[in-house]
Amino acid sequence: MSARTEWQGTPTEEFDYPLPAEAIAQQPLAERSSSRMLVLEPGGGVRDSLVTDLPRLLRSGDCLVVNDTRVRAARLRGTVGERSGEVLLLRELAAGRYLALARPARALSPGAALEGRGWRAVVESVWAGHPAGREVRLDVDAGVNLAEIGEVPLPPYLKQQRGDPERYQTVYSKGPAVSAAAPTAGLHLTEELLLELEASGVVVSRVQLEVGLATFTPIRTPTIEAHPMHSERYRISSLAAAQVRASRSAGGRIIAVGTTAVRCLESSPDGEGGVLAGAGETDLYLRPGSRFQVVDGLLTNFHQPRSSLLVLVSAYYGRDRVRAAYRAALQRGYRFLSFGDCMFGWRLA
């Protein structure tokens, strides 16, 4: 891409904002659903609410879609020679082979090995999609499993000691642990709140998107259009597709819990407001001007400056609404990022 082409488009600085360190939540609240929720009013205003008020914002026949992916113990810390190092396993390519991010990247060049107690990660090649990208072969001793030797990777802005690693999993996560990060909007939901929603006639539907580089890589290009969007695997079951279509046909609304659920649904539209069942990879990059065909409402956390997640919610709600909401949230003491509070609103027609 030429420098001239890269500079054409929407400046990334339009999706920047000052985020004080004290506004970043360092620990989750004791009760998941006790988080604050900023509600975006259709007329442009905002009002304070709580996650426990979500059932009052939805109605019978609506469909709430969650991403039930589970986070892998993907960070392996060891030594390369006499130096400390680590690899973050992003995706399993084949049995024992992974796409990973390596640190320090210079020390972990092809042929180098990162070693720990009961395991060894050998760098096989460089992956051009990221400066620290590597393809590694992981050899694990008999009787050792990944969940025991690895750590659930928390975002780098979380500086405090973490507690129970299950607090970085949603209560409905299931199946093999395949994601490198959590779908954090779902961290607010409890089994009790989901049961309350279902008792009120809201259908809770599960899809899956494996959270990886596309979700957490910051935008480093001068324009948002020049940002390379990586692909992530997704799955929409026949049941989930049928639930979304049935809700739509009956006049219900489709509400996504988090940006990963949005990307999953919008990657497989059926052209009639529903979704198609299936599995695949998506590099869908939703930005201002993108068309949303499925999702009517969105529950989402407050995102980092210059991130594709902030671009997505700005495309969904409207840039001016998001700027105003983020200013209000900071002024009112809302907690930001993964363990922080959230906001809810409907897509403007």
Residues 65, 204, single domain; the answer is: yes
Q: Per the domain annotation, does 157 fall within a domain?
A: no
d(CA 38, CA 2): 41
Q: Per the domain annotation, does 156 fall within a domain?
A: no
Residues 280, 306, single domain; the answer is: yes
Burial of 145 (0-12, 13-18, 19+ CB in 10 A): exposed
Residues 179, 286, single domain; the answer is: yes
Burial of 35 (0-12, 13-18, 19+ CB in 10 A): buried
Residues 250, 314, single domain; the answer is: yes
Residues 105, 63, single domain; the answer is: no
The residue among 274, 283, 281 whose CA lies nearest residue 205 is 274
Residue 271, by phi and psi: left (phi above 0), alpha (psi -120 to 50) or beta? left
pLDDT at 5: 45
> To which H or E segment does residue 99 belong?
strand 97-103
The residue written with tokens 């988090």 in the block is: 258
Q: Among the three residues 149, 179, 201, which one is the final residue of a domain in this structure?
A: 149
Q: Among the three residues 106, 121, 149, which one is the final residue of a domain in this structure?
A: 149
Three-state secondary-structure class, residue 28: coil
> To which H or E segment does residue 216 belong?
helix 213-216
Q: Per the domain annotation, does 158 fall within a domain?
A: no
The residue among 125, 312, 157 whose CA lies nearest residue 227 is 312
What is the CATH classification number for the domain harbouring 272?
A: 3.40.1780.10
Q: Into how many domains does the chain fold?
A: 2
Q: Give yes or no for a cis peptide into 11 (omega within 30° of 0).
A: no
Burial of 317 (0-12, 13-18, 19+ CB in 10 A): buried
What is the CATH classification number for the domain harbouring 134?
A: 2.40.10.240
d(CA 311, CA 21): 21
Tokens of 196: 């309350």
Residues 256, 119, single domain; the answer is: no
Q: Are 158 and 233 in contact (CB under 8 A)?
A: no
d(CA 238, CA 9): 38
Residues 261, 135, single domain; the answer is: no
pLDDT at 163: 64
Q: Are 243 and 205 in contact (CB under 8 A)?
A: yes
| β-sheet bridge partners, residue 83 | 80
Strands 70-71 and 177-179: parallel
> To which H or E segment does residue 254 belong?
strand 254-257
Q: Among the three residues 95, 126, 149, which one is the final residue of a domain in this structure?
A: 149
Residues 216, 331, single domain; the answer is: yes
Task: Specify the amino acid at residue 306.
Answer: R
Q: Per the domain annotation, does 155 fall within a domain?
A: no
Residues of the chain with pLDDT under 50: 1-6
Residues 213, 185, single domain; the answer is: yes
Burial of 111 (0-12, 13-18, 19+ CB in 10 A): exposed
Q: Per the domain annotation, does 36 fall within a domain?
A: yes
Q: Per the domain annotation, does 27 fall within a domain?
A: yes
Q: Per the domain annotation, does 154 fall within a domain?
A: no
Residues 17, 118, single domain; the answer is: no
Residues 171, 219, single domain; the answer is: yes
Residues 88, 215, single domain; the answer is: no
pLDDT at 349: 67
Q: DSSP string of 281-327?
A: EE-----TTPPPSS--EEEEEPPPTTBHHHHHHHHHH-HHHHHHHHH
Domain that holds residue 108: 75-149
| β-sheet bridge partners, residue 133 | 101
Q: DSSP string of 33-64?
A: GGSEEEEE-TTS-EEEEEGGGHHHHS-TT-EE
Q: Are 309 and 322 in contact (CB under 8 A)?
A: no
Q: Per the domain annotation, does 305 fall within a domain?
A: yes
